[in-house]
Structure 1
Amino acid sequence: MRHKSFEEMPCAIAQTLDQVGEWWSLLIIRDALHGLTRFDEFQQSMGISPNSLTRRLNDLCDRGLLERRRYQERPPRDEYVLTARGRDLQPVIEALGAWGRKHVTRKKAAVRLRDDVTGAEVEPVLVDRRTGRRVDGKGFHYAATRVAHPVKKSRLPRA
């Protein structure tokens, strides 16, 4: 069952959820970041039904997040590789994982991101690219643009 589309909503978060908000999609992206590429690998990793996985893979390919590549002709078999657009979701996936380890699984996780040089576990944080300051709610505020919903324009300062 498809949810209501958010594509008309003037919000980057809503429109992004329209692209990848279905939970299987984010888990497929997660597994692709972990190096999985083949249908059976995704299916085994997640326990997703073949029909659901086929729909999600097709959708992610149609949206330009994965690229389908043929690796065997007889029988025809494809692998699914992240595109640059799909790889750009890594910070989102890592942020969800960091939040989940802190608030849900209490630091338990099957896969951890590690630094190639030091081998240390990575602890992702969101920082402002220009200043390098951590974005954690302190010293920042939201501002409404001209396309913001009127209720937000009434509550937030103008951008």
Structure 2
Amino acid sequence: MADEMTDLILAISSQDLDERHEAEERLVAIGEDAVLPLIEVLIDGDAGARWYAGRVLARIGAPAIRPLILTMIVEQDTQFRRYAAAALGSMGETAVEPLIEAFSSEDRELRGFIALALCRIGEPARGPLKRLAGEGDEVQRSCARLTLWKMGEEGINDLVSSLDAGKAT
């Protein structure tokens, strides 16, 4: 399996589009066992390999969420974090709660990438962010409010209503 995984990981950077797509499909089918090798590509790969690894991780979905977030906590490389946040943001609603939990990190840059992922998720993240804007600790509230603001008009409406609700208590 290790040799097959290595071959598939190499193939996602292939110039042959059919080979690349076949490798992606097989890695998605492997699922959770492919997550850590793909995260390694996000850390050490070139831009093309990182992009495809992130795409496969996004398609694997839930099994990749926690390992990606945990690696974002310990891995300081901005490019890695950018690709990891894009992958998490592409996973949609399933990633919202774990991402919101990551707002408790003391790492400002990490919180920024978490906000980008939540913005990419959009609508499914608005309700949980609105709740956090009124219930979390000071840092979490601030992160939630800034993320809602970054979401644009709909997020700003939620931000204003969360601030109004806070005044009433």
| Coarse TM-score class (shorter-chain normalised) | under 0.3
TM-score by structure 1 length? 0.25
Which structure dedicates a bigger proportion of its chain to strand?
1
TM-score by structure 2 length? 0.24
Larger radius of gyration: 1
